Structure 1
Amino acid sequence: MTQAKHLEPEVLRQTVVVFSQNYLPICRINIKRAIALLIAGRAEPLSYMGDRGWQVIAPRLVLFVPEHIRLTIGKTERLWRVPPVNRKEVLRRDNHTCQYCGSVKHLTLDHVLPRSKGGSHTWENVVTACERCNQSKGDRTPHEAGMTLRTKPKAPVHPTVAFAEQFWREQKGSHS
């Protein structure tokens, strides 16, 4: 006897953007969580964003779930600290990619300005590099070695800020 697969309606695979009380886009959640927030009165629809959304029909109610909701509850922001400069965090920031050639194999950390020349172990001076590029660069700056960085190294930003920046970039691109 074969077991029937439970098919989830397409609408339940949708996501909703959540804004804070002061209209900062903070995250994207699944529609089930959005429904729970709306029914509990912990969020409200954002109608100024347009009338796009989904109609959810349940046995006892019909609910319109918009693409964007705003939290109505006052919650203090959780304290977030810049993570320490270590292998795991630098690899995450650099998307597990060599910042010189783009390789994703045999990765190491490289000090852009070598420590022997006064370089510090900071977010702005440490990048992901493959073994080949790291050896090729040696104890020199990228300029001295004739190499260029793909991105300028910087400390990670708060996840909410990163989401907000991405959200507004996407909105700008969809309205061009």
Structure 2
Amino acid sequence: MSKAAIGTTETLRQSVVVFSKNYLPISRVNIRRAIVLLVTGKAEPLDFLFEVGWKVRSPSVILQVPAQIRLTMTSNERVWKIPPVNRREVLRRDCQTCQYCGSKKNLTLDHVIPRSQGGKHSWDNVVIACQRCNSKKGSRTPVEAGMPLKTKPIAPVHPAIAFAEQFWREQQINLE
């Protein structure tokens, strides 16, 4: 394989960060998708950020593809709703790990403040626990049982917000 072919393949594997019209980083796309967005006028290059980008050559055109682009249109995304509190979603949030001991076997749902004490079936009160820890805790709070939680239970965040937070964390690390 020639050096030019290796460079082309490597370039096409790169990703471009897509910002919303309001400059919120929303996703990463491959270079091909970024070119389509740029050529159709659905996006514009952002060159105020740190990376230069890549040159993509065709037989008749050389395109400069930036590392970041901004959508020029408002997207008609459907409204994202917080998913319902159910076993599958809580398992996903808690990485399929008991929030008391870290076990990954015989997992159940546990109400941090037991329902018998007025606890609700909500994102901030339901965690994953193994059967052993759930039985040991019983109908007591984690403080009463002497079993602290590994992480505080919270509702899932919008995927675009999670991506934006991760993107800015990476940018901060790159600046240091």
In the comparison of the two structures, how many residue pairs are matched?
A: 170
Instruction: Determine the C-alpha separation between the residues in 2 that align with 1:170 and 1:15.
Output: 14
User: Aligned-pair distance for 1:85?
Assistant: 0.4
Q: Which residue does the alignment assign to 2:129?
A: 129
Give TM-score scaled by structure 2 length: 0.90
Alpha-carbon distance, 1:47 to partner:
0.2
Q: Deviations over 1:65-110 (max 9, x none)?
A: 1111100122244211111100111111112222112222222111
Q: What secondary structure, in the 3-state scheme, does the structure 1 residue paired with 2:11 have?
A: helix
TM-score w.r.t. length of structure 1? 0.90
Residue equivalent to 1:120 = 120
Q: Distance in 2 between matches of 1:105 and 1:55?
A: 50
The alpha-carbon distance between structure 1 residues 87 and 74, as it changes in their structure 2 partners (threshold 3 A), is: same
For 1:122, the aligned partner's letter is S
Q: In the TM superposition, what are the counterparts of 1:1-176 in structure 2 within 5 Å?
A: 9-176=9-176
SS of equivalent to 1:133: helix
Distance in 1 (CA, whole Å) between partners of 2:103 and 2:52 is 41
Other structure's SS at 2:100 match: coil
**Inter-partner Cα distance in structure 2 for 1:137 and 1:144:** 8
Match of 1:149, as an amino acid? L
Q: Distance in 2 between matches of 1:100 and 1:63?
A: 54
Per-residue deviation, residues 149-175 of structure 1 (Å, max 9, x unmatched)? 111111111111111111111111221
Cα distance, 1:50 vs structure 2? 2.9
Please report the RMSD computed on the Cα atoms of aligned residues, expressed in angstroms.
1.6
- CA deviation vs aligned residue, 1:38-79 (integer Å, no higher than 9, x gap): 111111111000342121112221112111110012224421
Question: Structure 1 unaligned runs (5+)?
Answer: 1-6
Specify whether residues 32 and 141 from structure 1 end up closer, same or farther in structure 2 by C-alpha distance, changes over 3 A only.
same
Query: Within 2, Cα distance between the matches of 1:171 and 1:105?
Result: 37
| Counterpart secondary structure, 2:48 | helix
Structure 1 range deviating more: 125-134 or 99-108: 99-108
Deviation string, structure 1 residues 7-41 (Cα, Å, up to 9, x no partner): 88011111111000110111111222111111111
